[in-house]
A and B are shown apart, each in its own frame.
Chain A
Amino acid sequence: MLKNRVKELRARYGLTQSDLGKQVDVTRQTIAFIEKGEFSPSITLALKLAKSLQTNVNELFWLEEDGNEK
């Protein structure tokens, strides 16, 4: 399952879902879906999110298997 730190990093930079959505050119709902883990973004969107949140994709997204957490 794909896990992410979008919500955590977004909060760190004081961004709302709408703010982040505008920065990466998606709707607020799509940011919410990603944060909830309902939707796995494309590589393009993942790269844009990582850039906006000043991190890299590996730090932002990771796979969690059988209880092994990052």
Chain B
Amino acid sequence: MKNDFRLQYPLWMMGFIVVLGMFAYGISSPVTEIVNTDTEQSIMIELEPVAGFIVVGTVVLYVAMLATFIFQLLRHNRKNPTQKVSPFSIRPLEYLEQDEGMTYITRKASQKVYTFMSWSLPLLAVFAMVTPLPRLFIVWGILLVALIQYVIYYVEIRKHFKEEVE
């Protein structure tokens, strides 16, 4: 159970969010030049060497992680034909609901996440409105909230699986 894909799913999401945050940094720092005259119309986007490296590196990393993620998901479905998960499901994949005990801990973890989201999102919205922050920081703020929600969920679920004794 400890190696159940659904238990590891929040870790995957945290990883994807971190890579996305790095990617956001890479694409938010290009030099953009727009030429719009009678004789010439052009848009030039030039990535700085470091930013370019980050963009390419994070895309490669993201694709590699995605391939591994899909492999793990397919392996889980092969090993657990009665508890298959679909990447296209609207319901979060990390939900454990195979019996009432699992549903109980999922509900407890979800309640903690909901509590966090109920104040963090409005706070972030107010923060974004009243502070003249660059767009990158707003994006990072949203990603940070998303990251923390997975941390809360993962820590709560792991707590229940910590002392497993037969």
Question: Which residue of chain B is the closest to A25 with respect to CB atoms?
Answer: B99
Let me know if A26 and B166 touch, CB within 8 A: no
Residues on A with C-beta less than 8 A from B101 are 26-27, 29-31, 33-34, 39, 41
- Bound CA span A33–B105, Å: 9
B161 within 8 A of A: yes
Task: Tell me the total A-B contact number using a CB cutoff of 8 A.
Answer: 44
Contact of A30 among B99, B163, B165, B166 (CB under 8 A): B99
- Bound CA span A31–B163, Å: 13
- Bound CA span A45–B101, Å: 10
Number of contacting residues on B, CB 8 A?
14
Let me know if B166 and A28 touch, CB within 8 A: yes
- Bound CA span A45–B134, Å: 55
Residues on A with C-beta less than 8 A from B166 are 16-18, 28
Residues on B with C-beta less than 8 A from A27 are 1, 98-99, 101-102
Let me know if A36 and B163 touch, CB within 8 A: yes
Question: Which residue of chain B is the closest to A33 with respect to CB atoms?
Answer: B101
**What's the interface size class on A, roughly?**
10 to 19
Residues on A with C-beta less than 8 A from B165 are 17, 32
Residues on B with C-beta less than 8 A from A45 are 100
Let me know if B99 and A33 touch, CB within 8 A: no
B79 within 8 A of A: no
* A–B pairs, 30, beta carbons within 8 Å: A16-B166, A17-B165, A17-B166, A18-B166, A25-B99, A26-B100, A26-B101, A27-B1, A27-B98, A27-B99, A28-B1, A28-B164, A28-B166, A29-B1, A29-B101, A29-B102, A29-B161, A29-B164, A31-B101, A32-B164, A32-B165, A33-B104, A33-B105, A38-B160, A39-B100, A39-B105, A41-B100, A41-B101, A42-B100, A45-B100
| Contacts A18-B166, A30-B99, A32-B164 known; 9 new A-B pairs at CB < 8 A | A16-B166, A25-B99, A26-B100, A33-B160, A34-B101, A38-B160, A39-B105, A41-B100, A42-B100
